[in-house]
Structure 1
Amino acid sequence: MSTQRIYYRAVAPHTFKAMLGLEQALGETLLERSLHELVKIRASQLNGCAYCVDLHSADALKAGETARRIFALPTWEETPFFSARERAALAWTETLTLVAERHAPDELYKEVAEHFSERELAELTFAIATINAWNRLGVGFALQPE
């Protein structure tokens, strides 16, 4: 386990403020809050960001998500706990988080688009991009859950 490297919020407040602005804008998303948190948790699991997994698991519980579904996220494809819409969002999350390996194929995009309006799909993609950016800050600067 590494110790935190720098306090990036303090040394780069202008860019941190911009990231917070994006996060604030996502607070007005049409996506269900629990779905948004599941996306954040799953991307954070894939990226190995312990800080974000801890933070967003707690946020998901506060939003009414169940512990059982949170625990099942690493094996979401193998469980009956998620709706078709949630499965599409989780597949899109994994694909974009691992974009260098998966390249966002057309067939997956079409499947995801069946479950989300254009605005929701854009917001889902922004949510995935944003949590991946936060994960890179968390992993890169060795943030630890409190």
Structure 2
Amino acid sequence: MTRPPTPDLTGLPDRELLKLDHQVCFSLQAASRAFGGVYREALRDLGLTYPQYLAMMVLWEHGPLPVKTIGDRLHLDSGTLSPLLKRLESAGLVRRERGPQDERSVTVHLTDSGAGLRERALPVPRSILRATGLSVQEVLDLQETLGRLTASLGRAG
């Protein structure tokens, strides 16, 4: 598949740069929405939303973690993360424990059901990779580029 040439936007007048098709943020938003639909389908049988899946992935990878660490890893604030973890707890997938030394510190642990869900989730990444239509190398290159973009925007913001 041949891609159309990427326009050189550096010499374009401001009016041209203001066009929707020249906005990288719009391209990212459209891709994110498309990913959302693919993930909704892939996660349906697991009973997870995409944000819940991300939280479970962090716990599958690292084991019990403080809520703050999960939030840092997922770039989520506690106002978004706490209800998500409550829903996972209600579903019997995680349990939250207050720290014995500090009641404000809460650690999230997988339950047996939550740990067992990992096996059922194993096919998800491969199905998402297939849905992208990209090679593994293209996905790795894209992740690297997006990582640089995120870091640059974090510094700029």
Structure 1 or 2: more strand by fraction? 2
- TM class by shorter-chain length? 0.3 to 0.5
Structure 1 or 2: more helix by fraction? 1
Normalising to structure 2: TM-score of the pair? 0.37
* RCO higher in structure (CA 8 A, sep ≥6): 1
Normalising to structure 1: TM-score of the pair? 0.39
